[in-house]
A and B are shown apart, each in its own frame.
Chain A
Amino acid sequence: MEGIPLELRHEVQQYPPALGEELMQSGPRMRGLLDEEGLVRWCSQGLAIARQAARSWEAAAEYYKVSPLVLPALGVGYFFLWAREGEMVSLDGPSIGVAFFKSSTSVVGRIQGHQVESWARTGHRLFKGTWKSAVLETRFFELSPELLRHLTMPELERLVGLVDRLGHRSNELALECLSLSQEVFSQIGDSKESLISLLGVLVEKSWREVRACLEAVPQALARVEGIHRPEFLHLAERLADSGHPGICSFVIEGSRTLGQIEREQQSLVFQGASAVMAVDAMMVPEVFKNAPLVLSRISPGRFPLWLGEGLRIARENRDGGLAYFRLESACSEAVLESLSHAVELSRFRDILSLYCRALAGRRVDIAPTEELTSKGLGWVSKERATTEGSTVYLPPVVDRFSDKGSNFGWLKVVATHQVAHLEFSTFAFAFQRPSIYFKDLRTSLWNEKHSRDPLLRGPVEAEEIEALVPDLKRFFDLFPERKLALDIFTVVEDGRVDSHVVSEYMGIRGPYSRVQEAALRERPPIEGLGPREALLEHLVRLSLQWQDGHPVPKKQARLVTRIDRIMKMVLAPRATVEDAAEATIRIYAMLSQLAGQEVDQEEAPGQEGPEGGDGQEDTEELLQQSQYSGGESSAGQGSADNDPKAKQKAYASPKPVEYRGDLKPELTQLLARLKEASPELKEKAAARQATREGIQALLAQSVEIDIPPGDAISTRAFAENVMRESGMPPRDSDYVRGPFLHTDDEGGPLQSAEPDTYVYSEWDFRANDYKPRWCIVREKRVPEGDDGFYRKTIENYTSLLNQIRRHFELAVPEAFRKIRRVKDGEDLELDAVLEALVDIRAGISPSEKLYWKRNKVERDVAVAFLLDMSASTAEAIEEARHPYPGWDAPDDPMDYMMWLRNRRGEAGRRHYKRIIDLEKESAVLLTQALATLGDKYGIYGFSGYGRENVEFYTIKGLEEPFDDRIKRRIDKIAPLHATRMGPAIRHAAQKLLQVEAKTRVLFLISDGRPQDRGYSREGVEKEYAVHDTKMALNEAQRKNIVPFCLTVDKTGHDYLKTMCQDMGYEVLADIHSLPQRLPYLYRRLTM
């Protein structure tokens, strides 16, 4: 080999031949690039490497191999620098050297010559003389080409710096992170610098998270808007710097949150976060977490205000701020509410419910639309308001306008429209009832139809459920094109109801017409619609009080005038739903003819109908028209059968008017009919397959429900749901959502075998008799807890307590009431003496009763307080009382356990006051108050699950003296299970009878209607519990016990009226007043 000194060649030959081969291969190319001296230097450099250790020749071989590729890239000067660095690296281990040289070919293309040194040194820094660190260094050199593709040399140095530091903690981790970073940095684009610095902080503060974080970052960043990515990482870094645990989850959750926020609004969150960061880093994740929720409730412009308020609080009180940003404080609720322009139904539910009740004059509940759609009765739209006859369903949130007032106004208009259907009796349509303004055609059409086709009477109208068939079904049966008829009827009826509202309620006219105008603006253009659609659209606009003319196809100009006339009649002040029906018949006649002309030319010819209407449209003529149409309808039955789809297809329903919601008159009337049916009829009907099939057929026929045609299963499920909703016992359990009603009917009387159990009968109002030995009451003592609650209550209520004591102390002399006009007493009664003197003068014998005395009759009162310890008392009182899903205890024991656990879990997380807490506080106050009076009293709690498990807890027995144990027991009063009141009342009465007292009082404090498994279920069964409770109270009364019921359930009037017919009861409007009210009522009751 030319140019290479002999001794060097000899030396090369001492190593395995591979080395020589590499030298030989590269030699010629190197000679062309280097001068003589350089060549020697190159060659001996390789040997220097090879000499280092046993296997160093491998590195040397690699050196020789890559040299020709490296040299041109670096130039001679840096080439030898590189070679020297290589030698140094190879000292760490031959395989490291190999890796270094191997990577060099690609690396040199990505770095500058002078950076070679720092590259090599960077790798070298990782070497700590251990095998593991050698692996790390090797890995570094192996990955270098890839890493350098995305990172600059200084960046790489920083990265390796932190990998190095990580290596101090765990070599494996460092290795993994190094490997990972290659992948990660290839994905994250511009955010490398930020990521490196985040990782740098993480290594210091919480090195265990580095890896997870690194893994999470690429995905997380993908969710963040590009320009915000560095900012996001920077935030995470500052968070990490402040020692926040869980950076990784912040990165994941935070980015997820950002993903939910519109791009433009992300910067808001960042601004907010950095402002919050300045106060307290711990709050940043909370801000992120709740930002989407907050932004969904308030406009972006107000976000800083919301934030500012939170910061103000946070500066004053850290926990307060934290709770604020977690949205877990009343203050944050209030602020959000005041900033929000959206109107939430839940906040106005009570008000609207009373409002609707006032308007409709009967019980109307308000519920969010989800509640109805989840019932599976055929309503599917979650956006549109509707009613099913007893409840008005409204959208849960209204956020259409930028101020609260308008949003509420809209909600009110929507609610008013729905309730107007009830007030102006849309669903009270009666087939036979005459209309006001029209000549009635319904009956004649019906007769005609039936004379033509006597077989029309289908299975639906089987005798026993004849009464259940809604009149509206009969009405819609008149039309072959049901959908068209329904659409016309809906528009006409909605228009009628609206016009009633506007003329009856002056005050709402303003908002109402604004909503109508808005609806009009949203109407699709009439041009380009088919003739029928155009006329229907015209109808919709008329019903919305359209004033100005709008284009209508010229061909139909005559029909338009006629429709205008009909609508005028329907919109008149006295029009009834029957008028709307008659109008529907007429308009349908016109529209269906139109379709006949267009779609099927053969059907229309020769008929005088459309032409006959020139000029005069009096009722007579309309009658003719409609009769004609009726004739066609029944005749059309046949043709529609032949070709129903062509007709259906040709016609498209008008776009719904949003504020009017979803009117399903036929279904609603069916539900109402079923609900109103007597229990006997219900049972009878439910027992017959015909009913089921009838309802099924009816539903299948109705166009109000979107069931795929021929889908027997879903029709069947609908039918079951409808029947259950109306209180009919379902039979096919396959389609039943819940278990059977009143499963406890099975099984016989129970026995009390264990100690402290007592058996009581239960009143069955249906049977009008007792169910003997039906319930087992298990008496238990409440375990002792801490007396802290007792002391705290006394402290909190010091002033109230003083007040109560004063009242009760005053009551004691009241007990020793001055009795006037007695023969003997403490002192002379002045009035009586005067009278006597007068009498003497007048010559009549004066009364002997000249004295007054104090009544020495001692109070002899025994009172048992019975506290409701049912699970529902765990409900927080601050919140608006919204029923939880699954408020009633499920029957299935497994479900029940889940239900219970959920409810308890909810309770456990609560920081605020629950109903039970108020009950406990009241108990504390009572013990204090009653101590002043010296009455005998017992405090008991009750709950239970099922009839064999009525729990009766003794907090203080009637004869038990009051002591510290009782204070501690009060602490342990807790919400438990369900509310079976009857047996508990019976047992308490029994207890009262065992003590000597002249007056016995049974004071029941509850939070709702009685309910328990097999004690109170939907429909008729609710009554069962109420009646049993009533009977238990009556029994007590008969035993000379004065019962009194106090409930905190605002809706309690309904059932309490039944339950306590001639007993005292009170419904506390404000739960908070319980502690004040209870002692007061007690005083009233016993004095």
Chain B
Amino acid sequence: MSTGKKAPFFREYVVEEYIVQEEPFYLPQRGEVDIFEAAYKQKIPVLLKGPTGSGKTRFVEYMAYRLGRPLMPSRRRGPEPEEGKLSGNGHGIPLITIACHEDLTASDLVGRYLLEGGETRWIDGPLTRAVKSGAICYLDEIVEARKDTTVIIHPLTDYRRLLPVEKRGLLLEAKEGFHLVVSYNPGYQSILKDLKHSTRQRFVAIEFTYPPKELEAKIIEHEAGVAPELSWQMAKLGEKVRNLRDHGLQEGVSTRLLIYAAKLIAAGIAPRVACQTAIVWALTDDYQVQRSIEEVVSSIFE
């Protein structure tokens, strides 16, 4: 490679043009793909419920990919894409992910005016961009956002599919293909946090649970690139540890953690140690519970 054409250190996407390029690995559990597709067709917003690391985000990515086939290359700012990597020029569905947090305001979502050398310039927020570009807009951990923020999505979620942009005095009609997906984790519905009913009842809900052992083993096998036997044991460990949910553990071990542990093992860490760091210590600080999980680990792994 010549020195003139230095390889880029990073990739940059315009937010509404991030399109999932390669098919994410996703194993459907029980018809959630069909439900999502149907909801997408019928323009019904979707609420994904489920514990952490159970595959909600992966599912959204997968669906964005699946619904967007044939693929469209994303236009990258900055460095030119490598030639071979792009395929097709279809109309992939962009995926806009917004992680919600306590200080998220309405204008963070919708947009605001900026001053630029004495001139003002309107800049769209991610939600507005999604509405305009017909993207799938994924609001992750919606309960974290303040309640007054979440109400602005209300008109978007019913038959109107409108986004009022108050500042500009506009009403934006969502482009065909715009789809709102929100997620939340009922598990840590801590003392005072819950989804308002007026919000909650605007969505169809898909419940995510940890996948059954057989499926999870396959997922681990694929994600961590380990032998079927190891992934099976990992899945078994997952199943056993999840039996402790609500009895010392607030949440069961996530598939993500199991994958991490398997990856560590694949990288040459001894299984018991890998499970210790990736699972036991990650899950809990309670000594008794730690000891119990360690015993389970030592029963399963040599």
Interface residues of A (CB under 8 A from B): 350-355, 357-363, 412, 416, 504-510, 834-835, 837-839, 841-842, 844, 1044, 1050, 1053, 1057, 1064, 1066, 1069-1070, 1081, 1084-1085
- 24 pairs, A vs B, C-beta closer than 8 Å: A350-B288, A352-B292, A354-B244, A354-B248, A354-B293, A355-B292, A357-B243, A357-B247, A358-B292, A358-B293, A359-B296, A360-B243, A363-B247, A412-B295, A504-B236, A507-B300, A507-B301, A507-B302, A509-B302, A838-B115, A839-B167, A1053-B247, A1066-B191, A1084-B191
CB of B120 within 8 Å of the partner chain: yes
Query: Contact mask B285-302 → A, CB, 8 Å, 1/0?
Result: 010110111011111111
Residue of chain B at shortest CB distance from A409? B298
CA–CA, A360 to B299, complex, Å?
Answer: 13
Contact A351 B300 (CB under 8 A): no
Most chain B CB within a 10 A radius of its CB, from A506, A834, A835, A1085: A506
Within the complex, the shortest CB–CB distance from B201 to chain A, in Å, comes to 17
CA–CA, A500 to B115, complex, Å?
Answer: 71
Residue of chain B at shortest CB distance from A843? B120
Within the complex, the shortest CB–CB distance from A922 to chain B, in Å, comes to 18
Query: Which residues of B, 99-124, contact A by the 8 Å Cβ criterion?
Result: 112-115, 118-120, 122
CA–CA, A1084 to B190, complex, Å?
Answer: 11
Q: Which residues of A contact B289 (CB under 8 A)?
A: 354
CA–CA, A517 to B243, complex, Å?
Answer: 31
Q: A351-B288, A506-B302, A508-B299 are in contact. List 10 more A-B contacts (CB 8 A).
A: A350-B288, A354-B248, A354-B289, A359-B240, A359-B296, A361-B240, A361-B243, A507-B297, A841-B120, A844-B169
Contact A355 B246 (CB under 8 A): no
Query: Contact mask B230-270 → A, CB, 8 Å, 1/0?
Result: 00010010011101101110000000000000000000000
Within the complex, the shortest CB–CB distance from A878 to chain B, in Å, comes to 15
CA–CA, A580 to B95, complex, Å?
Answer: 55
Residue of chain A at shortest CB distance from B286? A1069
Within the complex, the shortest CB–CB distance from A357 to chain B, in Å, comes to 6
Within the complex, the shortest CB–CB distance from B289 to chain A, in Å, comes to 6
Q: Which residues of B contact A360 (CB under 8 A)?
A: 243
Within the complex, the shortest CB–CB distance from A840 to chain B, in Å, comes to 9
Q: Which residues of A contact B240 (CB under 8 A)?
A: 358-359, 361
Query: Contact mask B14-29 → A, CB, 8 Å, 1/0?
Result: 0000000000000000
CA–CA, A1050 to B240, complex, Å?
Answer: 20
Q: Which residues of A contact B113 (CB under 8 A)?
A: 835, 838-839, 841-842
CA–CA, A508 to B112, complex, Å?
Answer: 62
Contact A844 B298 (CB under 8 A): no
Q: Which residues of B contact A837 (CB under 8 A)?
A: 115
CB of B1 within 8 Å of the partner chain: no
Within the complex, the shortest CB–CB distance from A1083 to chain B, in Å, comes to 11
CA–CA, A416 to B293, complex, Å?
Answer: 14
CB of B168 within 8 Å of the partner chain: yes
Q: Which residues of A contact B233 (CB under 8 A)?
A: 506
Sorted from nearest, which 9 A-B pairs have the closest CB atoms? Answer: A354-B292, A838-B113, A842-B120, A358-B240, A508-B299, A1064-B191, A841-B120, A355-B295, A361-B243
A354-B288, A354-B292, A358-B292 known; A841+B115 contact, CB < 8 A: yes
Secondary structure at the B interface, as helix, strand, loop or mixed, is mixed
Q: Which residues of B contact A412 (CB under 8 A)?
A: 295, 299
A354-B247, A505-B299, A835-B113 known; A842+B122 contact, CB < 8 A: yes
CA–CA, A354 to B241, complex, Å?
Answer: 9
Q: Which residues of B contact A510 (CB under 8 A)?
A: 302
CA–CA, A16 to B295, complex, Å?
Answer: 101
Q: Which residues of A contact B246 (CB under 8 A)?
A: 1053, 1057
Q: Which residues of B contact A842 (CB under 8 A)?
A: 113, 120, 122
Contact B298 A841 (CB under 8 A): no
Within the complex, the shortest CB–CB distance from B106 to chain A, in Å, comes to 11
Q: Which residues of A contact B112 (CB under 8 A)?
A: 835, 838
Q: Which residues of B contact A841 (CB under 8 A)?
A: 113, 115, 118-120
Q: Which residues of A contact B241 (CB under 8 A)?
A: 358
Contact A351 B298 (CB under 8 A): no
Within the complex, the shortest CB–CB distance from A535 to chain B, in Å, comes to 33
Q: Which residues of A contact B169 (CB under 8 A)?
A: 844
CA–CA, A353 to B295, complex, Å?
Answer: 11
CA–CA, A839 to B300, complex, Å?
Answer: 64
CA–CA, A416 to B298, complex, Å?
Answer: 12
CA–CA, A330 to B292, complex, Å?
Answer: 24
CA–CA, A259 to B122, complex, Å?
Answer: 95
CA–CA, A1074 to B164, complex, Å?
Answer: 49
CA–CA, A838 to B117, complex, Å?
Answer: 11
CB within 8 A of A507: which of B114, B118, B168, B299? B299
Residue of chain A at shortest CB distance from B119? A841
CB within 8 A of A844: which of B114, B168, B286, B300? B168
CB within 8 A of B300: which of A505, A835, A1066, A1070? A505
Contact A351 B295 (CB under 8 A): yes
Within the complex, the shortest CB–CB distance from A1037 to chain B, in Å, comes to 14
Contact A362 B243 (CB under 8 A): yes
Most chain B CB within a 10 A radius of its CB, from A505, A835, A841, A1081: A505
CA–CA, A357 to B167, complex, Å?
Answer: 57
Within the complex, the shortest CB–CB distance from A81 to chain B, in Å, comes to 85
Within the complex, the shortest CB–CB distance from B120 to chain A, in Å, comes to 4
CB within 8 A of B299: which of A357, A416, A835, A839? A416
Residue of chain B at shortest CB distance from A1064? B191
CA–CA, A834 to B115, complex, Å?
Answer: 9
Q: Which residues of A contact B301 (CB under 8 A)?
A: 506-507
Q: Which residues of A contact B115 (CB under 8 A)?
A: 834, 837-838, 841
Q: Which residues of A contact B272 (CB under 8 A)?
A: 507
Within the complex, the shortest CB–CB distance from A76 to chain B, in Å, comes to 91
Contact A1085 B120 (CB under 8 A): no
Contact A351 B120 (CB under 8 A): no
Q: Which residues of B contact A508 (CB under 8 A)?
A: 298-300
CB within 8 A of B292: which of A351, A839, A1066, A1070? A351
Contact B167 A844 (CB under 8 A): yes
Within the complex, the shortest CB–CB distance from B156 to chain A, in Å, comes to 22
CA–CA, A1081 to B167, complex, Å?
Answer: 40
Q: Which residues of B contact A1044 (CB under 8 A)?
A: 191
Contact A358 B167 (CB under 8 A): no
CA–CA, A1066 to B247, complex, Å?
Answer: 13
Residue of chain B at shortest CB distance from A1050? B248
Residue of chain A at shortest CB distance from B240? A358
Q: Which residues of B contact A505 (CB under 8 A)?
A: 299-300
